[in-house]
Chains A and B, each alone.
Chain A
Amino acid sequence: MVRRGLSRTIHLQTPLKDEELKRLRVGDKVLLTGKVYTARDAAHKRLVELIKEGRNLPFEVEGQVIYYTGPTPTKPGRVIGSAGPTTSSRMDPYTPMLLDAGIKGTIGKGQRGKEVIEAMKRNGAVYFAATGGVAVLLARSVKSSKTIAYEDLGTEAVRELYVEDLPCVVAIDTRGNSLYEAKAGHTRLHSLQPHS
């Protein structure tokens, strides 16, 4: 379901639906609720090996979201440690295969490569930017966390998180429009205007 508030904030629920994703535009502020899965470099390498071998992934991927984060250790009494996004481009070599397998959204920081954007267009997927370095603020949205695969990878293990209103911005939409296509002197306000 897509709800558009006065402040152009969109509430999204995972697993993501194609129809809702199509309506998202770069610059939209999104508050994401539902399950998301954490994975970084080492986990991506293993997930893609499973796909290549034709084996099942450790979670149901259809419509799901991967959050590129490696949290700090959880302090006693807390759900998770600090958990902000890491640089997405390091996952670029693996991302097209995961998108082709059914992943509909990725959350991270920084630009994505051409092949990832092509795979996003092909699969109707969206790239959400979360703010790097605001890891305490983002961790407050995490309501539960459990490691579901690759425990040996420590901080890089795959965790299933349940998040409520995780704040992010649509940085690349299903049409391949990107907030990162900077032009000197422009603040890209044009892409932030309301649209129908």
Chain B
Amino acid sequence: MLGALRIVDAVEIVSTVKRLCIDANIYLGADVIEKIEESLKAEDSPVAKEILEQILMNARLAAEEQMPMCQDTGVAVVFVELGQEVHVTGGDFVQAINEGVRQGYRDGYLRKSIVDDPVFDRRNTEDNTPAIIHTEITPGDAVKITVTPKGAGSENMSEVKMMKPADGVEGIKDFIVDCVRRSGGSPCPPIIVGVGVGGNFESCTYLSKKALLRPLNESNPDPRWRAVESEVLDRINSLGIGPMGLGGRTTALAVQVLTMPCHIASMPVAVNLQCHAQRHRTATI
């Protein structure tokens, strides 16, 4: 016998995703603004200070003028936690998300940056679809949707490495720092560094993206990883890359690690770099 199913109309998913796409692109999170204000106090390079001030000013202007903070409004990455008691009616679930993206990018005057074929045709799909959708089935009857538009500048500098257990935590720390060093000014520093450790080849990259969603003022619940995050952040900020790679102390605002179990012979590590325009909005239906 069926339990009490909750009916959610696909139209509601469309309108929610649409609103999240627009809002995520306009409003910079208070946690990011707070970190940048803190960094400004620590900087002594005039160029670095000026850049951080521009970022703060831009965040204010974007909100006031209802404009996307960055012209790269990204690929729409959508995380969905779909309660198992939910029954979606009135349309296809994936199509509903893509319709929300289509409407959000059209009505929000957001840039359409998706090409249909990655190599040969590279024709713009003109509506920023398809979205990249990660769905997790969860207990309960809620639908929690997070939209995080991801720009290419920082995504292009991300790396994954199939490390061996013998590389240990020191190997992981070095890999993260080296990845940031190699990326230089390209990912629009100050960056947020998402790290996924464990799982396998594809799941560690998923974790690294998910790690970016943690609010910057929340610390890792595991004290061992909290220490790693803090040490790696210090090392990154000693590289001298600075805001936009033009020198300074503020190369990263945070390092955030997520882990999961893995095979006895594996220790996969993914580093997903995120520019200072760290955009994500969440709503629960």
Residues of A within 8 A of B (CB): 27, 29, 69-75, 81-84, 86-87, 89, 109-111, 129, 131-137, 139-140, 154-155, 167, 169, 171, 179-180, 182-189, 192
Given contacts A109-B153, A187-B45, contact A131 B247 (CB under 8 A): no
Does the CB pair B245–A110 fall under 8 Å?
yes
Does the CB pair A82–B275 fall under 8 Å?
no
Given contacts A140-B61, A182-B184, contact A72 B238 (CB under 8 A): no
Cα-based distance from A70 to B111 in the complex (angstroms) = 8
Chain A residue contacts of B152, Cβ below 8 A? 87
Cα-based distance from A81 to B50 in the complex (angstroms) = 23
Given contacts A72-B110, A75-B109, A133-B55, contact A187 B48 (CB under 8 A): yes
Chain B residue contacts of A89, Cβ below 8 A? 186
Chain A residue contacts of B186, Cβ below 8 A? 87, 89, 109-111
Q: How many A-B residue pairs have CB under 8 A?
A: 161
Cα-based distance from A187 to B42 in the complex (angstroms) = 12
Cα-based distance from A5 to B146 in the complex (angstroms) = 47
Does the CB pair B111–A27 fall under 8 Å?
no
Does the CB pair A82–B68 fall under 8 Å?
yes
B246 within 8 A of A: yes
Majority secondary structure, B binding face: loop
Does the CB pair B277–A133 fall under 8 Å?
yes
B129 within 8 A of A: no
Which of B70-78, B206-214, B221-229 lies at the binding interface?
Answer: B70-78
Q: Separation in Å of the A20 CB from the closest CB of chain B?
A: 20
Cα-based distance from A132 to B274 in the complex (angstroms) = 13
Cα-based distance from A71 to B113 in the complex (angstroms) = 11
Does the CB pair A135–B58 fall under 8 Å?
yes
Cα-based distance from A187 to B46 in the complex (angstroms) = 10
Cα-based distance from A111 to B188 in the complex (angstroms) = 11
23 A-B contacts (beta carbon < 8 Å): A71-B71, A72-B68, A72-B71, A72-B109, A81-B71, A110-B185, A111-B184, A129-B185, A129-B245, A131-B244, A132-B188, A133-B58, A137-B54, A137-B58, A154-B112, A169-B47, A169-B50, A180-B245, A185-B240, A186-B247, A187-B45, A187-B240, A189-B45
Partner of B45, one of A70, A84, A188: A188
Cα-based distance from A118 to B107 in the complex (angstroms) = 45
For the complex of A and B, the 9 pairs showing the least CB-CB separation, nearest first, are A134-B58, A188-B247, A132-B188, A110-B186, A133-B277, A187-B45, A137-B58, A136-B61, A182-B240
Query: What sequence of 0s and 1s flags, for each residue 232-260 of chain B, a beta carbon within 8 Å of any chain A beta carbon?
Result: 00000011111111111100000000000
B280 within 8 A of A: no
Chain B residue contacts of A73, Cβ below 8 A? 109-111
Q: Separation in Å of the B76 CB from the closest CB of chain A?
A: 14
Q: Separation in Å of the B234 CB from the closest CB of chain A?
A: 12
Q: Separation in Å of the B165 CB from the closest CB of chain A?
A: 30
B284 within 8 A of A: no
Does the CB pair B247–A179 fall under 8 Å?
yes
Cα-based distance from A109 to B244 in the complex (angstroms) = 7
Cα-based distance from A27 to B46 in the complex (angstroms) = 9
Cα-based distance from A91 to B184 in the complex (angstroms) = 17
Chain B residue contacts of A87, Cβ below 8 A? 152-153, 156, 186
Does the CB pair A69–B61 fall under 8 Å?
no
**Complex interface residues of chain B between 144 and 191 (CB less than 8 A to chain A):** 152-153, 156, 184-186, 188
Partner of B71, one of A84, A111, A169: A84
Q: Which residue of A lies closest to B153 (CB)?
A: A87
B11 within 8 A of A: no
